[in-house]
Every structure is written in C-alpha cells, then in structure tokens.
Chain A
Amino acid sequence: MIEVKHLTKRYGVNTAINDVSFSIEKGTIVGFLGPNGAGKSTTMNIITGYLSASSGSVTVGGFDILDEANEAKKLIGYLPEFPPLYMDMTVKEYLDFMYGLKKVKLPKEKHIKEICRLVKIENVYNRLIANLSKGYKQRVGIAQALLGNPPVLILDEPTVGLDPKQIIEIRNLIKTLGRNHTIILSSHILSEVQAVCERILIINAGTLVADGTPDRLSHDLSNDHSIIIRADGPENEILHAIKAMDHVVDAHSFGEKEPGVYEFSVEGDPGADIRRDLFALMTRNGWPILSMHNTDLTLEDVFLRLTSGTQSGTFLKKGRN
C-alpha cells in the first residue's frame, strides 16, 4: 500500500533522512520509533506530500505522491505533529471545511457525526477550537484525519496530550481501524507501540536501523545475549566448570561483586536452554546461585540499543530475516 524507496532529504548540509526504504502491506499498523530529531516527522511529511524528498520516491496505493499527487493524497488521512486547526472556527465549521477540502463524497451529516462519535468530540461540536483543551484539539486533529474514511492513516504522535483513559480509547480505536486501514503511527511511548503495532520501524539519525515485529526485534537481539548469574564460590574453578558444560559457547567473569560472590556471564548455543544444567552443576559443586537472570530484551532495551549508535548496522539484517 505504501512503498518508500531510497528516500533522502537534505536541508542544506544537514541530512535529515538518509536512504530510507520500506514497504507497508495493506491493513497493517506500523509503529515508527526514534529519538527526537531522528527524522520521523520528516519521513511522514514526505509520505503525505507536504515535503518533497531530495531523492527517492514514495507511492501510496500505486500512485506517486509527486506525479499523481491528488490521487495519492485522496487515499491518505494525515494527523501532523501539530494538528492543523484553524483557531477561529468551531469544531463543526472546521470539520465541514475539511470535508469540502478533501472532496469527500460520503453523506456529510452522517459521516461527520459518526467520526465525532468515534473520537468523542460530540460535546464540543459547537465550540470554538481556540477554547478547547489540548486533548480535545488533538482529537479534532484525529477526526479530520479520519474524514472521508481514507485507506491510509498517518498519525504523528496521535496520543499526545490525551488523558490516560483517552489514550486507551484512541489506542483501541487505532486497533479497530487497523483491521481495514493501513496505519503508520509515530510515538515516543514504547509500550503504546508495542500494544498497538504489528510492525516496528526504528529510525535513528535519519537511517532505518530496525524493521520487524516487536517480538522478533526483542527475540533477535536477545540471541546474542547471555545469562547473567551470581554465585558464591571460587572464581576460576566456577568459570572452568561452566566452560566445560555442554552447549556453552563462552563464559566470562565480571569479578567479585560481594565478598566471595562473583558474577558471570554465560553464553549458550542459540536455541539451547542451559539454565537447568547450570543450576544442577552449581548445586553439585556446592556453589549456591544467588541470582540468575536471562536478559530477554524489552522493546525499551531494543530501542535504546539501536539508537545509542552501537550494533545498528548488523541488527537491521537480522531484523529483516
């Protein structure tokens, strides 16, 4: 549904995004993650045709955003970072205006009422937008994106400024819409992305560093992760014994953490669970294990890892397998 190829955007000497490519199937919800200034909004602005790329192409539903702009734009509902609201209009006037601007063909009254019901702005329908709270403004912004029931929704931080109850409602709304819409949403809230999105794109410093389902991202990254244990016993002997175990690829010591207690990291074969054997080994030798944890990565870890600059290159390949 959305095809982004080798997108690059330069502002003078600064490169905002650099050779970003991805494609999104119909009916998927994609989360767009990245630290501030990574290029999320720029990418979204290019996909919606607000900005033009320095090089590369974007097609939406088969229409090029530059060459067949009007056809492509008809398919997109866009909520920018700052909702494009006219402060001097009432919610009703604004939605009427956007309805006309987008050349929507659905029955007007009914369609607008339906959307107001979905995003819960019926009670402010006749109020001036300037007088609404941030949360309501955000919801009006979402409402205008939904006008005309476009098959593609691009939402730049849709839940900013909403109260927790509203956030859950909007999340559920997005999930429901995701059944027959293609949705890209950006967010700073990782748990939100994890809860809503079927696929995650992580962008850092203008380049795409990860692309995959949330599970896959944590799974793939935890492959090169190990078990960390703390044990009471002689350092060298323990290390030696662990290294001699089946399915252990490597082990090393982190040194003495408490008096007589050492910490070790044990890397097992991918796919092999060595925790039980490890426990048995240590018990046999009378070296009590004081703690053992498996460093399965949360999305937060994945995010921090990928955006702090290390390993990013290699991970992208893995994430796409």
Chain B
Amino acid sequence: MFAIFKRELKSYFNSPIGYVVLAVLLLLFGYFYYTVLIYGISQYIATSVYGNMFTMCMMIIPIITMKSLSEDKKNKTDQALITAPVGVTSIVLGKFLAAFCVYAIAMLLTLVPSLIISMFSDLAWGPIIGNVVGSMLYGAAMISIGVFISSLTESQVIAAISTFGVSILMIVIGSASSIVNNAFIAQIVNWLSFNTRYQTFTTGIFNISSVVYFISVVAVFVFLTARKIESRRWS
C-alpha cells in the first residue's frame, strides 16, 4: 500500500495536475481572502472565503480522481499491481490516500492567509478550523466516490464528468428535503446529504456522527472499488 501511495503522490507532482490543482484552488482562495481584506472584517473568513470556496473545492475533486484507476486500466499497468503480492484493498487505499493527500495539502495551505491575518487581528479560529476539517471530511467522501467512478471506466474524461455529476448532486440534494412533503423522506434526504452534515462544521461544531458518516462513506466506496477491480478478473 505504501509503495502505491508514494508512487501515486509522486505522479501527481510529476505531471502538472498536482500543481495546477493547488495553484487554481489557492488563487481562488486568494481572491476571496482579498475581499475579506477589503472589508477589513476577519469574521468573514469563515463565511465569505470558505463558504464561497466550498463549491470550487468540490469541483476540483473530479480532476484529482479522474485518472486514479482509469489510467492503470488503459495503460495495462494494473497487471503489475494485481499480480503483485498485495491485496486489492491496499491498492485502492493507496490510490485513495494519494488523491486525498493532494486535496489535504491544498486545504492546509489555505490556512496560510488566515495565519498571517491572525498576526494582525483576533481571529475566531473555531469556524475556520471547522470549515477546513469539514471540507476535508466531505472531500474524503467525494474522493472515495471519484476513485470508485474512475475504476468503472478507462476514460479519464468519462470519469471526471461522472464524478462532477455526483459531486454537484451531493451539494444540491440537501435542498430537496425542504421541497419534499413527506417528513420521513425529508429526514432521510437530510441524513444522507453531505451538505447538511458539512454545514454543522462551518459553525465550528464537531459532530461525531457526521465524522463517522463521512468515514463510513469512504469505507463503503473503498470496499466497492476493491470489489469492482476484483470483478474485472471474472469478466
């Protein structure tokens, strides 16, 4: 697993993908930080910066995960992975962790402007940290879904677009709960919605059940991806 993780992470930064993802995200973060500076009110960091950037972060995830497994299938390098004495789950975990690591590096780097601002102003760290941790958990869940989708196809484009679709759906599905008449269904939608769970973090509240929920989603999709790779042998 560690060998695969190391290779994947390196390959993100051997190709421009890793740098482009980091640069674009940090540039956009920079723009919103800049607006905060214009307002001169540091409380806006949580709402203005992270609130606006959340959707962008979710948009960038398909780009990180699109080649995760599809490229291996296309270039037949999966033969080396599958015939090596490692289980499929550790292959998938290695891939997942590398993609997550790129995303996590980006999220951690977004704290740099906050750190600098905190030298000149009294920051409310709770909501900021909450936002970062929430984005990481939400991102981890989305990345595991993206890795799963990339295992379904040989085409990076198809993987990226499908993951986009799922990503947007997970953002908007929460609002469906207010439209649905049936209270029971509304509750289920609410419970499933990544967004509703993410919102609690933005106020600086660490909801354990949400943490468990996101980690469970990761576990389920890592499991499904492993099964998918295994099933290829039987096709």
Residues of A near any B CB (own CB < 8 A): 11, 45, 48-52, 69-71, 73-74, 76, 78, 80, 82, 84-89, 93, 97-98, 100-103, 144
The smallest C-beta distance from A138 to any residue of chain B, in angstroms, reads 14
Known interface pairs A11-B235, A93-B10, A103-B86; 16 further A-B residue pairs with C-beta atoms within 8 A, sorted by A's residue number: A48-B83, A52-B234, A70-B85, A70-B87, A73-B84, A78-B83, A80-B80, A82-B76, A86-B77, A88-B15, A89-B11, A89-B14, A98-B84, A100-B2, A101-B84, A102-B84
Residue of B nearest to A97 (CB): B7
Q: Is there contact, CB below 8 Å, between A50 and B83?
A: yes
Q: Which of B183-215 contact A (CB under 8 A)?
A: none
How many pairs, one residue from A and one from B, have CB atoms within 8 Å of each other in the complex?
Answer: 73
B residues less than 8 Å from A100 (CB atoms):
2-3, 6
The answer for the CA separation of A144 and B234 in the assembled complex, in Å, is: 26
In the assembled complex, B41 has its CB within 8 A of some CB on chain A: no
Q: Is there contact, CB below 8 Å, between B82 and A86?
A: no
Q: Is there contact, CB below 8 Å, between A84 and B77?
A: yes
The answer for the CA separation of A158 and B233 in the assembled complex, in Å, is: 23
Which of B7, B77, B85 interacts with A73 by CB under 8 Å? B85
Q: Is there contact, CB below 8 Å, between A86 and B85?
A: no
Q: List 5 A-B contacts (CB under 8 A).
A: A73-B83, A78-B79, A78-B83, A82-B79, A98-B80
Q: Is there contact, CB below 8 Å, between B7 and A50?
A: no
The smallest C-beta distance from B59 to any residue of chain A, in angstroms, reads 25
The answer for the CA separation of A196 and B44 in the assembled complex, in Å, is: 75
B residues less than 8 Å from A82 (CB atoms):
76, 79
B residues less than 8 Å from A103 (CB atoms):
85-86
Residues of B near any A CB (own CB < 8 A): 2-4, 6-7, 10-11, 14-15, 75-87, 233-235
The answer for the CA separation of A86 and B7 in the assembled complex, in Å, is: 10
The smallest C-beta distance from A74 to any residue of chain B, in angstroms, reads 4
The answer for the CA separation of A51 and B78 in the assembled complex, in Å, is: 11
The answer for the CA separation of A89 and B3 in the assembled complex, in Å, is: 14
The answer for the CA separation of A144 and B75 in the assembled complex, in Å, is: 16
Q: Is there contact, CB below 8 Å, between A74 and B11?
A: no
The answer for the CA separation of A11 and B235 in the assembled complex, in Å, is: 7
The answer for the CA separation of A101 and B77 in the assembled complex, in Å, is: 13
A residues less than 8 Å from B14 (CB atoms):
88-89
B residues less than 8 Å from A89 (CB atoms):
7, 10-11, 14
A residues less than 8 Å from B235 (CB atoms):
11
A residues less than 8 Å from B82 (CB atoms):
49-50
B residues less than 8 Å from A84 (CB atoms):
75-81
Residue of B nearest to A99 (CB): B3
Residue of A nearest to B78 (CB): A84
Q: Is there contact, CB below 8 Å, between A76 and B6?
A: no
**Most chain A beta-carbon neighbours within 10 Å: one of B3, B83, B87:** B83
Instruction: Given A11-B235, A52-B234, check contact A101 B76 (CB 8 Å).
Output: no
A residues less than 8 Å from B86 (CB atoms):
70, 101, 103
The answer for the CA separation of A123 and B186 in the assembled complex, in Å, is: 65
The smallest C-beta distance from A112 to any residue of chain B, in angstroms, reads 14
Q: Is there contact, CB below 8 Å, between B87 and A80?
A: no
Q: Is there contact, CB below 8 Å, between B81 and A101?
A: yes
The answer for the CA separation of A97 and B7 in the assembled complex, in Å, is: 7
Q: Is there contact, CB below 8 Å, between A49 and B83?
A: yes
The smallest C-beta distance from B2 to any residue of chain A, in angstroms, reads 7
Ranked 9 nearest A-B pairs via Cβ: A100-B3, A84-B80, A73-B85, A52-B233, A70-B85, A84-B77, A74-B85, A101-B3, A48-B83
The smallest C-beta distance from A238 to any residue of chain B, in angstroms, reads 61
B residues less than 8 Å from A74 (CB atoms):
85
B residues less than 8 Å from A51 (CB atoms):
233
The answer for the CA separation of A149 and B233 in the assembled complex, in Å, is: 26
**Most chain B beta-carbon neighbours within 10 Å: one of A48, A85, A88:** A88
The smallest C-beta distance from B151 to any residue of chain A, in angstroms, reads 16
The smallest C-beta distance from B1 to any residue of chain A, in angstroms, reads 10
**Most chain A beta-carbon neighbours within 10 Å: one of B4, B76, B84, B87:** B84
Q: Is there contact, CB below 8 Å, between A102 and B85?
A: yes
The answer for the CA separation of A80 and B78 in the assembled complex, in Å, is: 11
The smallest C-beta distance from A8 to any residue of chain B, in angstroms, reads 13
A residues less than 8 Å from B7 (CB atoms):
86, 89, 93, 97
